[in-house]
Amino acid sequence: MHGGFIVGNVRLILSACMAMLLAANCCWAASQIDQSTLNGFIYKSDLSESSRAALSAHLPLIFTDVEPNGLGRKTYEVIGGVLVKGVLGEVVRPNKANSKIDIGGIRYDQSRQDGDRVAIDISGAIIRPKIFDWLWLPMIQFVDSPANAAVTLFALYDVDAKSRAEFLREATMACQCRKPYFVGLHPALIDTRLGMLLLYSDIIPINSRFRQPPTVSGVRLVPNAKTFDEELSRKSYDELQGIIRQEPFQSYIMADNDVRYSASITDKILIAGEPRYSFWHYDQARNIELNLKTNADLKARQEQGLLRDINEDVYGTLELFAKWTSLLRRFKMSDPAGWQALKDSASKTAVEHDVETPVIYGPGRR
């Protein structure tokens, strides 16, 4: 049982993502997080040269869920985890007679200080959200790609049985665990702190060790993060476990397929809506059936901050990722020329590949 991040039919769109994949393996020295051994993470350097080469074709996650009103069966069964494909809907300015407004443009100015480079035109008014390059630049690449998945722990879902068995043998030896999972990330997220934080959100429900915010040399991945409250995190995690285990489940997914994002504009942009976990099981006919009580209870507590109380770094980042990608998708669809200009300006700043993401997760690693 576990989760993962999602996206559509792999082979036809692989070439469109190759530039991001090459960038993710270029130029930057990535550091492993301090919790790597405790968390059961295995990296490319831990595997044989032949396995590293063979796995390189499968670990970039390029899969799109194309269901217009829900999620496809393959998304639930084979990918699992987290799907973020929402598009921002209504944009309003509260307490105005003609409250409906629109996004006039989005600009990125490399010459300004990081955190102040994004400018959004809302019906002539310029708003500068405080958003940093480590989040913004991978999001641009993510939304620009034909794929909409971020992370999966089933990266070998399309590998033949013989090859999968060979990979499993070596992975089991490398992690000294009974059941290794193969980590797949969208090419834009490989070896980035954003990718690592989204991977954490996929594993937290089944491993309490991931309550602790990831660090590199003792420094949290999220700049200026709030002080971690261990007691609150533990109590909130226990509550999460009580909710999700009230009904048997086969797996779960973090998705926004039924979320309606909207934006309220004052002197800043407030985007409402966030992805949610959905737990599911098979009925007697092997149809996918959602755990309705579990999901309803969890939705109610998530809206009250339960997940962020467990790990603000992880779930706060996931929420920002989903909200801002919904806005970027709307802009991409409504203004192709403006989207191209935004891409061109953002491409002048390299994505910082400063946190190495693992290729295998081995729970219970000895």
**154-186 per-position pLDDT tens digit:** 988 888 888 888 888 888 888 888 889 999 999
Confidence of residue 366 (pLDDT cuts 50, 70, 90): low
> 307 or 267: whose pLDDT is higher?
307
Q: Regarding beta strands 215-216 and 91-92, do their DSSP bridges make them parallel or antiparallel, or are they unpaired?
A: unpaired
Q: Looking at per-residue confidence, does 92 or 27 come out higher?
A: 92
Per-residue pLDDT band at 25 (split at 50, 70, 90): very low
Compute the distance between CA of residue 180 and CA of residue 170 in angstroms, rounded to an integer: 10
Confidence of residue 287 (pLDDT cuts 50, 70, 90): very high
192 vs 70, residue with greater confidence = 192
CB of 147 closer than 8 Å to CB of 128 = no
Of the listed ranges 5-9, 156-160, 198-202, 311-315, the one predicted with least confidence: 5-9
Q: What's the pLDDT band for 80 if we cut at 50, 70, 90? A: confident
- The token pair at 59 is 């670990």
pLDDT in the model for residue 175: 84
Would you say residue 127 has pLDDT above 70?
yes
Residue 21: what residue type? L
Pairwise CA distance, residues 169 & 322, whole Å? 36
Residue pair 269/127 in contact (Cβ under 8 Å)? The answer is yes
Mean pLDDT (whole number) for 51-71: 83
Q: How many Å apart are CA 324 and CA 131, to the nearest integer?
A: 10
Model pLDDT, residue 7: 36
Q: In what order do the strands lie in the sheet with 118-122?
A: 103-108, 118-122, 125-127
Average pLDDT of the chain?
A: 88
Burial class (CB in 10 A: 0-12, 13-18, 19+), 85: buried
- Provide φ and ψ at 100, rounded to 5°: -75, 130
Using the predicted structure, report yes or no on whether residue 108 has a pLDDT greater than 80. yes
List b or e across 17-54, with b for residues whose CB sees 16 or more CB atoms inside 10 angstroms: beebbebbeeebebebbebbeebbbbbbebbeeebeeb
Which pLDDT score is estimated for 98? 64
Q: At what angle do helices 133-144 and 336-346 cross, to 10 degrees?
A: 130
How high is the pLDDT of residue 310? 98
For residues 40 and 186, give the distance between their C-alpha atoms in angstroms, rounded to a whole number: 21
Of residues 111 and 167, more confidence is placed in 111
Write the CB contacts of 115 (distance below 8 Å, at least 6 apart in sequence).
Answer: 130, 131, 132
Does residue 121 have a pLDDT over 50? yes
Least confident of 59-63, 88-92, 239-243, 255-259: 59-63
pLDDT at 320 over 80: yes
pLDDT number for residue 1: 56
Which residues are 280's β-sheet partners? 251, 290
Assign residue 284 a region: left if phi > 0, alpha if psi is -120 to 50, beta otherwise?
alpha
pTM of the model: 0.91
pLDDT at 105 over 90: yes
Per-residue confidence (pLDDT) for residue 347, from 0 to 100: 95
Return d(Cα 174, Cα 365) in angstroms, integer: 9
Higher-confidence residue of 221 and 159: namely 221
Interval 2-11 mean pLDDT: 41
Cα 155 from Cα 54, distance rounded (Å):
12
Closest CA relative to residue 119, chosen from 111, 127, 104, 88: 127
